[in-house]
Amino acid sequence: MKQIKLAHGNGGEENNELISKIFYKAFKNEILEKSEDAAIIEDGKLAFSTDSFTVTPLFFAGADIGKLAVCGTCNDLAMMGAQPKYLTCSVIVEEGFSIDELKKIVSSMQKELEINGAKVVSGDTKVVPRGSVDKIFINTTGIGKVLKSGISSNSITDEDAIIVSRDIGCHGATIFAAREGIELTSELKSDCTSLYPIVKKLLDEDIHVTAMRDATRGGLSAVLNEWAKQSNICIEVDEDKIPVCDEVMGLCELLGFDATSLANEGTFLLAVKTQDAKKALEILQKFNKNASIIGKLTDLHVKKVILNSAWGTQRFLDMPTGELLPRIC
């Protein structure tokens, strides 16, 4: 690896290699090595996360870069059982950017902050010469109050069931269609949404959640493979139980994509104690009827994900590789 390629930002194998061989090596510490959606700090009282957003186009069906920025950071906090409280917002804007569009972006951010019960308490703005960035880049950093401790992708066992909160791939498919000018006669839109209200309901109902992770870059397949390696387990998933809407499936068949590798921005995976799986599913289906129990833990192949087809065959569901779809979040 001598130069950075677009594939290094795909959320898959190359991205993991870049992080582990350069950043983890330089910044090595016990908190970072847990590889969670957010760091748990201050004796387990706080969750802490940061993210940068560079999506193109900036406005798309279901959201825009502003909503995406707040959802992205708040969702990372929620995945650790934390209530989003405080965010910072840093913006790099290109010379010539529309003030009206900037107002729309900031308005979207404020609306999403209200949903999470969070507020921006610090920030920074840079304006750079035309051509230095692609219109606008946003970084958000968040701090949340941990409501339930012990949630970790390093603690999944054979006592857990794997659940997905809704149908997958809508964000990646929406971005691709908008970017390529593909006109759809359907209602396909990004799944971008704040997940804290759903997580709070699960916690309020005392669901025994072992781990949660939002399936952003790299999609469902990336999360499952990360979990298998982090918890030293084998995850077995039933292909026909993975919910995919007709519009996303159609785009995948037309363009050769795999829906399990497409990005999401309001879809998350849960590892829940088996005895609570049915109750958890009932709660999730009140938010989205497509929530589904998709898998279980086995001891067939440690650190691997196995996909069971509807025809009784099996194959490994590998970590995504190559240049998938850049600039999606």
The string of pLDDT tens digits covering residues 52-93 is 999 999 999 999 999 999 999 999 999 999 999 999 999 999
What pLDDT does 255 receive?
Answer: 85
Residue 324 confidence (pLDDT) above 80 = no
How does pLDDT run across 40-49, given as a tens digit for each residue? 999 999 999 9
pLDDT of the residue at 105: 98
- pLDDT top residue among 181 and 107: 107
Residue 103 has pLDDT above 80, yes or no: yes
| Whole-number average pLDDT of the chain | 95
Predicted confidence (pLDDT) at residue 8 exceeds the cutoff of 90: no
- Bridge partners, residue 63, by sequence: 60
CB 329 within 8 A of CB 72: yes
| Structural domains in the chain plus CATH codes | 35-146 (3.30.1330.10), 160-316 (3.90.650.10)
What's the pLDDT at 26?
95
pLDDT at position 22 is: 92
Digit-coded pLDDT (tens) for 261-303 = 999 999 999 999 999 999 999 999 999 999 999 999 998 889 9
Concatenating the DSSP letter of every residue in 258-299 gives -GGGS--SS-EEEEEEGGGHHHHHHHHHHH-TT-EEEEEEES
Nearest CA among 142, 52, 14 for reference residue 329: 52
Residue 226 and residue 153 in contact, taking contact as beta carbons nearer than 8 Å: yes
Q: Dmax over Cα atoms in the chain, in whole Å?
A: 57
How far apart are alpha carbons 171 and 190 in whole angstroms? 4
Q: What is the pTM of this model?
A: 0.96
Mean pLDDT for 230-248 is 96
Residue 325 has pLDDT above 90, yes or no: no
Rg (CA), the chain: 19
Q: What are phi and psi of 254, to 5 degrees?
A: -70, -40
In degrees, rounded to 5, the angle at the alpha carbon of residue 163 between the alpha carbons of residues 157 and 166 is 160
pLDDT value of position 139: 98
Does the structure show a pLDDT above 80 at 1? no
